[in-house]
Copies of this chain bind each other. A is one copy, B any other.
Amino acid sequence: MTAFQRLSRNFCENASFAKMLIVFTVSGGGLVALSEAKSEDGMNIVNSTEANDKKKRVVVLGTGWAGTSFLKNLKNSSYDVQVISPRNFFAFTPLLPSVTCGTVEARSIVEPIRNIVRRKNVAVHYWEAECFKIDAENKKVYCRSNLDEKEEIVVDYDYLVIAIGARANTFNIPGVAENCHFLKEIEDAQKIRRTVIDCFERASLPTLSDEERKKILHFVVVGGGPTGVEFAAELHDYVNEDLVKLYPKVKEAVKITLLEATDHILNMFDKRITAFAEEKFQRDGIDVKTGAMVIKVSDKEISTKEVKKDGAVSTTPYGMVVWSTGIGTRPVVMDFMKQIGQGNRRVLATDEWLRVEGCDNIYALGDCATINQRRVMEDIWAIFHKADKDNSGTLTVKEFQEVLDDICERYPQVELYLKNRKMSSLADLLKDSKGDSVKESVEVNLEEFKTALSQVDSQMKNLPATAQVAAQQGSYLADCFNRMEECEKNPEGPLRFRGEGRHRFRPFRYKHFGQFAPLGGEQTAAQLPGDWVSIGHSTQWLWYSVYASKLVSWRTRALVVSDWVRRFIFGRDSSGI
């Protein structure tokens, strides 16, 4: 133990010195040295003495989809980037359900973050630590290394990119956190894999009754979303393709139950996909229980309540429960939201440029944030007056047309509304409010304009918490950072309706490339753009090729493809490691 470590340990051990916690400040990759500054609250702050002040310091929290996509696309070498995450790798999470049963190995879907940023012209430093406090006022983040005796690190930033994702949402249901498996991290998937094998080994022990065997081999999946459904399907394949060969005696005792609180599984998908999935699961013997809400999980039993009917409560013994019901907020984000007056929200609110509302130079993307899209109705007066160039108090179609692009860019719901209503031009909108007989020369006043646009805000909806959204946000934000100076001079965004000039950047716009729902047995359902639905074996091959191409490196690509090949030839491994 060094003198310094001894010092900091002594401080911590001595309760009267507890507030005098030794902390460190790191600035822009510069050197760190000790100073004797003492802040008001008795906290020793170690200031950097030789900071490289020329470069703007960007701190990125998280190495998930959003953070990694940001880092990959950042090309402007005028930033000094520090990445902080408790995980020194990026994980290709869409393949997590495959990892739970060994269809793909955990290590095949991860890539060290240092490898991803290694050949960049941008200075990127990575610290393996977890952020536990964001101080927006003083532009600092407080982190703790899990490796080094919980020592604290304080990092200054000029720009902060919050991309720390979410945690599993237990809805505070008793026993869930203690007794259920989750499917958010690589470690979760590895633990599930071991637990499945453990259940089979336990059930094989000669001292058990048939009844006990059945309890141990009852696998419960809670949540009928794409992850839960994919895991149930993977598990079914694993059991029926591989495990039954090695555990022939326990085959009959295996049961997989999928619990969903709403009326259908995969309810964010097209009805055809839902119906196909429910039928396939029925054929496969996976027990799909819809309208069943979990109210308690003990160490051996799970209790559910019928959502409809009489609300009857039933309790079933289980061997393993996998909880996959959506995302919850990480404590550090919760604290930060309270600090900036967003305490009553579920995730951070940002504007359309991914800037956290009410903060300077803080961006949030991925699962820890949602874009708080501006309503047209909020700005209707400003829009009207900006468009009404001649200040006539009325708007001609021509005047409207001139600001139309800016409106559509600033308020994407307008474009969506026109598209959904199959309107070719804004004139059609005005027609709606003035009746069918409008001509190009028609003029509308503010009230009529309001009426014409009164419905557009109904088109607004939050983006789903998917890898696709996070990755697009990361690459969008990197693009903004790359052209920050350039766009400062020549703003490329839409008109500022409430202010002067233009926005620096175009707002973030999500492009949906479709979504897959693997259903097991080499069958996948896909909902592609334009509501195109594809189900079956060919879609499975589409899934293989899309996922292989989307992997982060040639190494992971080669590994995942070889894992698939290995599985085809040798099946999945069932060693308890």
Contacts and interface: CB of A to CB of B under 8 A. Distances in A.
A371 B273 CA distance: 67
B128 A88 contact: no
B300 A112 contact: no
A186 B558 contact: no
A107 interface: yes
A202 B24 contact: no
Nearest to A574: B112
A114 interface: yes
B570 A246 contact: no
Nearest to A202: B147
A359 to B, nearest CB: 25
A105 B563 CA distance: 12
Tell me what chain A mostly uses at the interface: helix, strand, loop, or mixed. mixed
Nearest to A151: B207
B247 A114 contact: yes
Nearest to A106: B577
A281 to B, nearest CB: 28
Interface centre among A88, A126, A575 (most CB of B within 10 A): A575
A99 to B, nearest CB: 10
Interface string A80-121: 000000011100000000000010011100111011001000
A201 to B, nearest CB: 4
Contacts of A115: 246, 574
Contacts of A114: 246-247, 574
B566 A201 contact: no
Contact of A207 (B26, B566, B575): B26
Contact of A576 (B26, B88, B562): B88
A211 interface: yes
Contact of A204 (B87, B106, B128): B128
A25 B572 CA distance: 33
A577 B107 contact: yes
A24 B202 CA distance: 15
A576 B63 CA distance: 13
Interface in A60-91: 87-89
Contacts of A198: 147
A576 B207 contact: no
Contacts of A4: 209, 212
A513 interface: no
A201 B2 contact: no
A197 interface: yes
Interface in A1-44: 1-2, 4-5, 24, 26, 32
Contact of A246 (B118, B190, B205, B211): B118
Contacts of A2: 209, 211-212, 215
Contact of A197 (B24, B88, B118, B127): B88
Contact of A575 (B1, B112, B204): B112
A460 to B, nearest CB: 39
A201 B128 contact: yes
B577 A201 contact: no
A110 B558 contact: no
Contacts of A110: 573, 575, 577
A207 B24 contact: yes
A197 to B, nearest CB: 7
A186 to B, nearest CB: 5
Contact of A206 (B26, B89, B107, B575): B26
Interface string A149-164: 0010100000000000
Contact of A129 (B26, B205, B211, B559): B205
A145 interface: yes
29 contacts: A1-B300, A2-B209, A2-B212, A4-B209, A24-B206, A26-B206, A32-B206, A88-B201, A88-B576, A89-B576, A105-B105, A107-B573, A107-B575, A107-B577, A112-B246, A112-B573, A112-B574, A115-B246, A118-B246, A125-B206, A127-B204, A128-B201, A128-B205, A148-B205, A151-B205, A153-B207, A190-B577, A559-B566, A562-B562
